[in-house]
């Protein structure tokens, strides 16, 4: 009898854990701030209507947030005092779109003070900014994240892969966030939108193995085009489209480009250097497959080390921790 009660207890505990309160939910703010998700979408769409590059900017900020200390809006914190915050780290180079997050946060604070986290606003706004041209949600975002109180630029390297990463490095850094090779390839598809500074890939053009050569795995004609856009030494202000002629359109063209050895970074080209990964590049050329896998992988990325329940806090201002 006692034995059975213990088994039953373990069973009940086990089930409530698996389906329980320690997870993100669909429409978490349904009762606490009914208009939250609509408000995020309205403001994001009105800004996206005036800035065709907004989707790329906010999507990248969300990625950088999730890969360092989980999706806890640590990337949004400004540096205070001497400990440099994540957003001041080198690989940021060009993180943008923070002012749109600030605007959304201040509008939401007017109707639901200290209810909606900056981490959720960032995840929703990334989806909404990319979705604007389609006038529908391109993937589902679960909510219930809370905001962290720590942001350290020293934690960026070692968590965010560099543009010159090889396949093993990419696979390991993603695995460390519980993301699979499928997630790695699908999420790299984010490079179908946005731009990069010449410095991120100029070594591939001018000094690949340290003797003035060009990366032989890069399409030769494309390398010449890139050299004309990015003279040596690399300018710190010039940017190029990562997916030429299609860098404002969220589509499968990135995978076509990678397949033609026109992936801009070594990390893009690296997706062809592993058999499994290369097959995934092939399969994601199909639009339906890409959109559905990207959505699943964004959900996985959006769950990395999230703060739930009573952990963390709901910031009043996304740039500073609460007093």
Ligand X SMILES: *[C@@H]1O[C@H](CO)[C@@H](O)[C@H](O)[C@H]1NC(C)=O
| β partners of residue 147 | 313
**What is the per-residue binding string for ligand X in 186-215, x denoting contact by CB under 6 A?**
---------------------x--x-----
Question: Does 256 belong to an annotated binding site?
Answer: no
The reply on whether position 225 binds ligand X by CB under 6 A is: no
CB of 215 to ligand X, least distance (A): 13
Backbone φ, ψ for residue 23 (5° rounding): -135, 160
Rounded CA-CA distance 173/183 in Å is: 12
* The binder of ligand HEM chosen from 101, 141, 156, 163 (CB under 6 A): 163
Contact segment (CB under 6 A) with ligand X among 11-19, 31-39, 62-70, 184-192 equals 31-39
Distances (CA, A) of 71 to 89, 263, 298, 315: 17, 27, 12, 14
| β partners of residue 317 | 320
Contact segment (CB under 6 A) with ligand HEM among 15-23, 78-86, 161-169, 249-257 equals 161-169
Residue 36's binding partner out of ligand HEM, ligand X, none, with CB under 5 to 8 Å set by partner kind: none
Q: Which is nearer to ligand HEM, 193 or 258 (CB)?
A: 193
**What is the per-residue binding string for ligand HEM in 117-156, x denoting contact by CB under 6 A?**
----------------------------------------
Tokens of 266: 């070594």
**4 carries an active-site annotation:** no
Within residues 229-288, the interface with ligand X by CB under 6 A covers none
Q: Which is nearer to ligand X, 207 or 235 (CB)?
A: 207
CB of 110 to ligand HEM, least distance (A): 29
- What letter does residue 11 receive in the DSSP assignment? H
Helix axes 181-188, 167-175, angle to 10 degrees: 110
Within residues 85-104, the interface with ligand HEM by CB under 6 A covers 93-94, 96
Give 238: exposed, middle or buried? Use CB within 10 Å, 0-12, 13-18, 19+.
Answer: middle
Backbone φ, ψ for residue 197 (5° rounding): -75, 145
**Three-class HEC string of 179-210:** CCHHHHHHHHHHHHCCEEEHHHCHHHHHCCCC
- Annotated catalytic residues are 64
Which residues contact ligand X by CB under 6 A?
35, 38-39, 42, 50, 87-88, 90, 92, 95, 176, 178, 207, 210
């Amino acid at each position: 009898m006692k034995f059975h009660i213990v088994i039953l207890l373990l069973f009940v505990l086990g089930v409530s854990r698996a389906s329980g309160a320690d997870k993100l939910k669909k429409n978490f703010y349904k009762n606490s701030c009914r208009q939250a998700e609509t408000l995020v979408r309205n403001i994001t769409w009105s800004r996206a209507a005036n800035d065709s590059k907004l989707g790329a900017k906010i999507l990248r900020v969300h990625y950088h947030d999730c890969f360092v200390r989980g999706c806890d809006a640590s990337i949004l914190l400004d540096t205070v005092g001497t400990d440099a915050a994540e957003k001041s780290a080198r690989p940021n180079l060009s993180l943008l779109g923070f002012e749109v997050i600030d605007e959304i946060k201040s509008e939401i604070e007017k109707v639901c003070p200290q209810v909606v986290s900056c981490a959720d606003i960032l995840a929703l706004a990334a989806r909404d900014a990319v979705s604007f041209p389609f006038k529908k949600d391109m993937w589902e975002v679960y909510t219930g994240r809370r905001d962290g109180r720590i942001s350290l630029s020293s934690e960026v390297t070692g968590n965010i892969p560099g543009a010159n990463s090889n396949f093993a490095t990419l696979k390991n850094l993603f695995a460390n966030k519980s993301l699979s090779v499928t997630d790695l390839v699908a999420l790299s598809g984010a490079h179908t939108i946005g731009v990069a500074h010449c410095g991120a890939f100029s070594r591939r053009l001018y000094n690949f193995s340290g003797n003035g050569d060009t990366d032989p795995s890069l399409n030769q004609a494309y390398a010449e085009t890139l050299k004309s856009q990015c003279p040596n030494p690399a300018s710190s202000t010039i940017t190029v489209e990562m997916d030429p002629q299609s860098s404002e359109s969220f589509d499968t063209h990135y995978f076509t480009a990678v397949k033609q050895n026109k992936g801009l970074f070594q990390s893009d080209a690296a997706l062809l250097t592993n058999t499994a990964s290369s097959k995934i590049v092939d399969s994601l050329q199909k639009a339906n497959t890409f959109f559905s896998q990207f959505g699943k992988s964004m959900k996985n990325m959006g769950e990395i080390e999230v703060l739930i329940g009573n952990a963390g806090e709901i910031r009043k201002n996304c740039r500073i921790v609460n007093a």
